[in-house]
Chain A
Amino acid sequence: MTGKAPHLSLDLSKNEPAIELVGIDKKFGAVHANKNINLTVAKGSIHGIIGENGAGKSTLMSILYGFYQADQGEIRISGKPVTIRDSQAAIAAGIGMVHQHFMLVENFTVLENVMLGAEGGQLLRQGVSSARKELKRLEDDYGLDVDPDAVIEELPVGRQQRVEILKALYRGAEILILDEPTGVLTPAEADHLFKVLKVLRDQGKTIILITHKLREIMAITDTVSVMRRGEIVATRKTTETTVEELAELMVGRRVLLRVEKGDANPGKVLLSVKNLTVKDSRGVTMVDDVSFDVRAGEIVGIAGVAGNGQSELLEAIAGIRKPASGEILLDGKPTAGADPAELRELGLAHIPEDRHHMGLVLKFEEYENSILGYHRESRFGGAMLNLDEIRKQAEDQIEKYDIRPPNPRLKTANFSGGNQQKIVVAREIERNPDVLIIGQPTRGVDIGAIEFIHKRIIEMRDAGKAVLLVSVELDEIRSLSDRILVMFAGKVVGEQSGEANEQALGLMMAGIAA
Chain B
Amino acid sequence: MDYFDIFISILGSAIRLSIPLLFTALAGLFSERAGIFDIGLEGKILASAFASACVAYWTGNAWAGLATGIATSIVFSLVHGFASITNRGNQIVSGVALNFVAAGLTIVLGSAWFGQGGRTGQVPASGRFSGITLPGAEMMRDVPIIGPLYANVISGNNILTYIAFLMVPISWWILYRTRFGLRVRAVGENPGAVDTAGISVAWLRYRALIVAGFLCGFAGTYLSIAQSAAFINNMSAGKGYIALAALIFAKWKPVPVMLACLLFGFLDAFANFMQGKALPGIGEVPVQIFQALPYILTCVLLAGFIGVARPPKAGGVPYTKER
Q: Do chains A and B touch in the complex (CB under 8 A)?
A: yes
A253 at the interface (CB under 8 A from B): no
Chain A residues numbered 119-153 whose CB sits less than 8 Å from any CB in chain B: 119, 121-125, 127
Write out, one digit per residue, whether chain A residues 81-93 have a CB within 8 A of any chain B CB (1) or not (0).
0000011111110
Question: Which 3 pairs of residues, A with B, have the shortest CB-CB distance?
Answer: A117-B197, A88-B198, A119-B179
Given contacts A87-B196, A105-B186, could you give 6 more A-B pairs where the C-beta distance is less than 8 Å?
A86-B200, A89-B198, A97-B196, A103-B197, A121-B179, A123-B178
Give every chain B residue within 8 A of A125 (Cβ-Cβ): 177
Asked if B198 and A117 sit within 8 Å, CB to CB, the answer is yes
* Max chain B Cβ within 10 angstroms of own Cβ: one of A65, A91, A116, A127: A116
Asked if A116 and B186 sit within 8 Å, CB to CB, the answer is yes
A341 at the interface (CB under 8 A from B): no
Give every chain B residue within 8 A of A374 (Cβ-Cβ): none
Task: List 20 contacting pairs A-B, 8 Å CB cutoff, sorted by A.
Answer: A58-B323, A86-B200, A87-B195, A87-B196, A87-B197, A88-B199, A90-B198, A92-B198, A99-B192, A107-B189, A108-B189, A116-B186, A116-B197, A117-B194, A122-B180, A123-B178, A123-B179, A124-B182, A125-B177, A167-B197
Nearest Cβ distance between residue B37 and chain A, in whole angstroms?
A: 19
Asked if A113 and B193 sit within 8 Å, CB to CB, the answer is yes
**A99 to B195 CA separation, bound complex (whole angstroms):** 12
**A309 to B192 CA separation, bound complex (whole angstroms):** 27
The residue on A at minimum CB distance from B197 is A117
A71 at the interface (CB under 8 A from B): no
**A251 to B206 CA separation, bound complex (whole angstroms):** 47
**A128 to B195 CA separation, bound complex (whole angstroms):** 21
Asked if B182 and A115 sit within 8 Å, CB to CB, the answer is yes
Nearest Cβ distance between residue B247 and chain A, in whole angstroms?
A: 18
Give every chain B residue within 8 A of A106 (Cβ-Cβ): 189-190, 313
The residue on B at minimum CB distance from A104 is B193
Asked if B189 and A116 sit within 8 Å, CB to CB, the answer is no
Nearest Cβ distance between residue A283 and chain B, in whole angstroms?
A: 15
Asked if A105 and B195 sit within 8 Å, CB to CB, the answer is no
**A90 to B190 CA separation, bound complex (whole angstroms):** 20
* Max chain B Cβ within 10 angstroms of own Cβ: one of A86, A89, A97: A86
Nearest Cβ distance between residue B128 and chain A, in whole angstroms?
A: 36
The residue on B at minimum CB distance from A125 is B177
Give every chain B residue within 8 A of A113 (Cβ-Cβ): 193
Give every chain A residue within 8 A of B194 (Cβ-Cβ): 116-117
Chain B residues numbered 134-183 whose CB sits less than 8 Å from any CB in chain A: 176-183
Chain A residues numbered 295-352 whose CB sits less than 8 Å from any CB in chain B: none
The residue on B at minimum CB distance from A112 is B182
Give every chain B residue within 8 A of A118 (Cβ-Cβ): 197
A194 at the interface (CB under 8 A from B): no
Asked if B179 and A105 sit within 8 Å, CB to CB, the answer is no
Specify which of A65, A87, A123 is in contact with B177 (CB 8 Å cutoff): A123
The residue on B at minimum CB distance from A87 is B198
**A112 to B186 CA separation, bound complex (whole angstroms):** 9
Give every chain A residue within 8 A of B189 (Cβ-Cβ): 105-108
Asked if B182 and A119 sit within 8 Å, CB to CB, the answer is yes
Give every chain A residue within 8 A of B179 (Cβ-Cβ): 119, 121-124, 127
Nearest Cβ distance between residue A45 and chain B, in whole angstroms?
A: 24
Q: B residues within 8 Å of A by Cβ?
A: 176-183, 185-186, 189-190, 192-200, 313, 321, 323
A415 at the interface (CB under 8 A from B): no
Nearest Cβ distance between residue A417 and chain B, in whole angstroms?
A: 16
**A119 to B181 CA separation, bound complex (whole angstroms):** 11
Asked if B323 and A103 sit within 8 Å, CB to CB, the answer is no
Specify which of A67, A105, A112, A117 is in contact with B321 (CB 8 Å cutoff): A67
The residue on A at minimum CB distance from B180 is A122
Interface of B, secondary structure class, is: helix
Q: A residues within 8 Å of B by Cβ?
A: 58, 62, 65, 67, 86-92, 97, 99, 101, 103-108, 112-113, 115-119, 121-125, 127, 167
**A249 to B190 CA separation, bound complex (whole angstroms):** 38
Give every chain A residue within 8 A of B186 (Cβ-Cβ): 105, 108, 112, 116
Nearest Cβ distance between residue B35 and chain A, in whole angstroms?
A: 11
**A88 to B199 CA separation, bound complex (whole angstroms):** 7
The residue on B at minimum CB distance from A89 is B198
Specify which of B181, B190, B200 is in contact with A103 (CB 8 Å cutoff): B190
The residue on A at minimum CB distance from B199 is A117
Asked if A104 and B190 sit within 8 Å, CB to CB, the answer is yes
Asked if B178 and A65 sit within 8 Å, CB to CB, the answer is no
**A84 to B194 CA separation, bound complex (whole angstroms):** 17
Given A97-B196, A103-B193, CB of A116 within 8 Å of CB of B183: yes
Give every chain A residue within 8 A of B321 (Cβ-Cβ): 67
* Max chain B Cβ within 10 angstroms of own Cβ: one of A90, A101, A119: A119
Give every chain B residue within 8 A of A86 (Cβ-Cβ): 198, 200
Specify which of B181, B196, B199 is in contact with A99 (CB 8 Å cutoff): B196
**A97 to B195 CA separation, bound complex (whole angstroms):** 12
**A261 to B303 CA separation, bound complex (whole angstroms):** 56
**A113 to B182 CA separation, bound complex (whole angstroms):** 9
The residue on A at minimum CB distance from B196 is A103
The residue on A at minimum CB distance from B187 is A105
Give every chain A residue within 8 A of B185 (Cβ-Cβ): 105, 108
The residue on B at minimum CB distance from A92 is B198
Give every chain B residue within 8 A of A67 (Cβ-Cβ): 321, 323
**A124 to B190 CA separation, bound complex (whole angstroms):** 19
Nearest Cβ distance between residue B217 and chain A, in whole angstroms?
A: 24
Asked if B177 and A124 sit within 8 Å, CB to CB, the answer is yes
Nearest Cβ distance between residue A371 and chain B, in whole angstroms?
A: 31
* Max chain B Cβ within 10 angstroms of own Cβ: one of A99, A105, A125: A105
Give every chain B residue within 8 A of A121 (Cβ-Cβ): 179
**A122 to B180 CA separation, bound complex (whole angstroms):** 7
**A124 to B321 CA separation, bound complex (whole angstroms):** 27
Give every chain B residue within 8 A of A104 (Cβ-Cβ): 190, 193
Given A91-B198, A108-B186, CB of A116 within 8 Å of CB of B193: yes
Give every chain A residue within 8 A of B181 (Cβ-Cβ): 124
**A72 to B95 CA separation, bound complex (whole angstroms):** 41
The residue on A at minimum CB distance from B183 is A116
**A104 to B195 CA separation, bound complex (whole angstroms):** 11
Nearest Cβ distance between residue A79 and chain B, in whole angstroms?
A: 23
Nearest Cβ distance between residue B184 and chain A, in whole angstroms?
A: 11
**A103 to B194 CA separation, bound complex (whole angstroms):** 8
**A113 to B185 CA separation, bound complex (whole angstroms):** 11
**A87 to B190 CA separation, bound complex (whole angstroms):** 16
**A104 to B189 CA separation, bound complex (whole angstroms):** 9
Nearest Cβ distance between residue B207 and chain A, in whole angstroms?
A: 13
**A90 to B199 CA separation, bound complex (whole angstroms):** 12
The residue on B at minimum CB distance from A168 is B196
**A89 to B199 CA separation, bound complex (whole angstroms):** 11
Nearest Cβ distance between residue A245 and chain B, in whole angstroms?
A: 31
Give every chain B residue within 8 A of A88 (Cβ-Cβ): 198-199
The residue on A at minimum CB distance from B314 is A105
**A88 to B194 CA separation, bound complex (whole angstroms):** 11
Nearest Cβ distance between residue A140 and chain B, in whole angstroms?
A: 24
The residue on A at minimum CB distance from B312 is A107
Nearest Cβ distance between residue B158 and chain A, in whole angstroms?
A: 32
The residue on A at minimum CB distance from B198 is A88
The residue on A at minimum CB distance from B313 is A106
* Max chain B Cβ within 10 angstroms of own Cβ: one of A65, A91, A104: A104
The residue on A at minimum CB distance from B192 is A103
The residue on B at minimum CB distance from A107 is B189
Give every chain A residue within 8 A of B193 (Cβ-Cβ): 103-105, 113, 116
